[in-house]
Amino acid sequence: MSLSAPLTQHIVRRPQRIALLQHIAEQGSITRAAKSAGMSYKAAWDAIDELNNLAAAPLVERSVGGRGGGGAKLSEEGLRVLRLYQKLQALQAQILEAAEDASDLDLLSRLMLRTSARNQLHGRISAIHPQGRNDTVQLSLAGEVRVNAQITHDSTVRLELEPGTAVVALIKAGWLQLLGLDEQPTPGQNLLRAEVQELLADPAGSTEVRLMLGNGQTLCAFAEPQWLQDQRITVGSALQVSFSPANVLLGTPV
């Protein structure tokens, strides 16, 4: 089974995050792995969530009672990706030697885009429905999860999108609305069911809510503490995540 293009590019561009897998494999603890990688605990989990979402299957699995707290271990897919990363490290010197000039590497760096969107979900296009100047693009994520994106037809053409194309759906955390299981979403919105994995309270504002979809992919959203209290939302609670198709940005490998 080959790696997805988004994950392969991530391995090349973000070695610190991939190296985090090595520390997890060696120490079995997110806390210790984050410290060894020079990352905060929160940054480490952000990295793990992103890697899990970009991969065909989760690379890191939570484990109960891990040494040092925040226990985790690599899945079989995670171990396979780690072996690939180690091979890439061995090839890196050869690639650097092959560059004719240092400016070649600068050019490649500029051509590879990083994004501020917290939520990055890898999937494939299952259908495209024209609607005037816009297209509704249906995405199939892992585990038969479906998401709709609304983009201009010009964007569809420019990105060369068609059924079967691999894409990354980008959704900012602030664009997600959390709903109770009995609440009705606005018509036409995407609606996913999720389980709360972690609540990170901020005394000065909204609470960050980490969510796990049924397919193992994760989302990050924000919610008002009063709403969470009224809905009796705690870790393990099931809820709904609603967001507009117009707020789903699509990216393709360069």
Residue 65 is given by DSSP the state T
Residue in this structure with the two tokens 């070649």, named with its chain if needed = 104
Name the domain boundary from 57, 79, 111.
111
Q: Which residues contact 43 (CB under 8 A, 6 or more apart)?
A: 34
**Which pLDDT belongs to residue 39?**
87
Name the domain boundary from 44, 79, 111.
111
**Which pLDDT belongs to residue 120?**
87
**Residues β-bridged to residue 127:** 138
Residues 147 and 177 in one domain: yes
**Which pLDDT belongs to residue 8?**
53
Residues 147 and 230 in one domain: yes
Residues 102 and 135 in one domain: no
| CATH number, position 14 | 1.10.10.10
In this structure, what token pair is assigned to residue 95? 């690639």
* CA dist., res. 189 & res. 22, Å (int): 39
Chain centroid to Cα 136, Å, comes to: 22
Q: Flag whether the pTM goes above 0.85.
A: no
Residues 90 and 145 in one domain: no
What's the alpha-carbon Rg for the chain, to the nearest Å? 19
Domain that holds residue 159: 115-254
**Which pLDDT belongs to residue 71?**
76
**Residues β-bridged to residue 135:** 130, 151
Q: For 153-213, list the strands marked E by DSSP.
A: 166-171, 177-179, 190-200, 207-213
**Which pLDDT belongs to residue 221?**
95
| CATH number, position 150 | 2.40.50.100
**Which pLDDT belongs to residue 100?**
56
Domain count, the chain: 2
Name the domain boundary from 89, 111, 133.
111
User: String of b and e for 72-106 (b: at least 16 CB within 10 Å)?
Assistant: bebbebbebbbeebeeeeeeeeeeeeeeeeeeeee
Query: pLDDT tens digits, the chain, 254 residues: what are they?
Result: 455 555 555 544 556 777 888 889 888 888 899 888 888 888 888 888 888 887 778 888 876 554 445 578 898 988 888 888 777 666 655 655 655 565 555 555 444 445 667 888 888 999 999 999 999 999 999 888 999 999 999 999 988 899 999 888 999 999 999 999 999 989 999 999 999 999 998 877 899 999 999 988 999 999 999 999 999 999 999 999 999 999 999 988 65
By three-state DSSP, how is residue 149 classified? Answer: strand
Residues 122 and 57 in one domain: no
In this structure, what token pair is assigned to residue 195? 């389980």
**Which pLDDT belongs to residue 1?**
45
